[in-house]
Amino acid sequence: MTQFHFKGQTGFYKGKVRDVYTIDDRYMVMVTSNRISAFDVVLPKPIPYKGQVLNQIAAFMLKLTEDICPNWLIDTPAPHVSVGKLCTPYKVEMVVRGNLVGHAWRTYNSGKRELCGVALPESMKENDYFPEPIITPSTKAAEGHDEDISREEIIARGIVQESEYKQLEAYALALFSRGKEYARKRGLILADTKYEFGKSGDSIYIIDEVHTPDSSRYFYADNFEENQRQGIRQKQLSKEFVREWLVANNFMGKEGQSVPEMTDKWVETISNRYIELYEKLLGVTFYPEELSDEQTEGRITACLNSFTDSLK
């Protein structure tokens, strides 16, 4: 992906999936690429239309939840671009889990009955519902792997002040509740997700993406209970199927492991699954829009010019 240079640009950060530009130390331009990461490793091939899928779902979900928590988004000038308020991120991710899946299941299956200081019930099967949603936070690493951490350690180490952490918990649970309610109406189950928050002035904002297939796991609701009773594998609409493919091919991002070959057919399969979730979740047909670098830069520049003066 081309690195742009904008008037008033004061910073640039290349993330695993997004390129982030700081403008006048007040605004942020987030360009969502087609890169895909798993186990904190960027995989070698991009996934067609993934950036558009993620960006447009995130914009929809931020709008859907803006009455719960202020969010950073101001505009989406291009299908894979968002522009918004610059916030100072909290150095934790708030992971909310409604079902025993993914990292929580791998931890549970290893015999452990505690995750991030939260006790896990006995006799659970993969994908079972927790009695109530739980929060299992992780540190937000600039590089390398995020790490599990407990609520108590976050507060004791001063990573987040206790009063603010309680607000993050309240926001996270309310956002998850809204996400589950919306998913249910679309015939899906929001199994787990992660939220990132930041602060601007005295206000806390939800930042980055919300309820996308990269930050969340979804199941189909129909036949879920019957599949659980019969031990039939649940179909997921999320990035988890990519992680499962990697695990099956002996890759979990550990030293000495190599990413398995991504064939063109497999890349197409991943792209189709992202589009499937988009259409199922939003209830609309996905129309791919491909812009040149020049068109993307022009749209971003026009967007910045249209609001920077009025917001000063």
158: number of Cβ within 10 Å: 8
**pTM for this entry:** 0.91
How far apart CA 103 and CA 240 sit, in angstroms, is 10
CB 34 within 8 A of CB 291: no
Question: Mean pLDDT score of the chain, rounded to an integer?
Answer: 93
202-259 tens-digit pLDDT = 999 999 899 998 899 999 999 999 999 999 999 877 888 898 899 999 999 888 999 9
**The CATH classification of domain 90-245, taken from the options 3.90.420.10, 2.40.50.180, 3.40.50.150, 3.30.470.20:** 3.30.470.20
In terms of Cα–Cα distance, which of 296, 300, 311 is closest to 26? 311
DSSP helix, strand, coil percent of the chain (3-state; round to 5) = 35, 25, 40
Domain spans of the chain, in order of start: 90-245
Instruction: Give the model's confidence band at 152: pLDDT under 50 very low, under 70 low, under 90 confident, else very high.
Output: very high
Written as six digits, the tokens of 80 are 């894979």
Once rounded to an integer, what is the mean pLDDT over residues 20-34?
95
- Per-residue pLDDT, 269: 94
Backbone angles phi, psi at 247, to 5 degrees: -60, -45
**Dihedral sign computed on CA atoms, order 15, 19, 24, 28:** negative
Once rounded to an integer, what is the mean pLDDT over residues 10-35?
94
- Per-residue pLDDT, 243: 87
CB 177 within 8 A of CB 201: no
pLDDT at 143 over 70: no
- Per-residue pLDDT, 192: 97
- Per-residue pLDDT, 127: 97
How far apart CA 290 and CA 52 sit, in angstroms, is 9
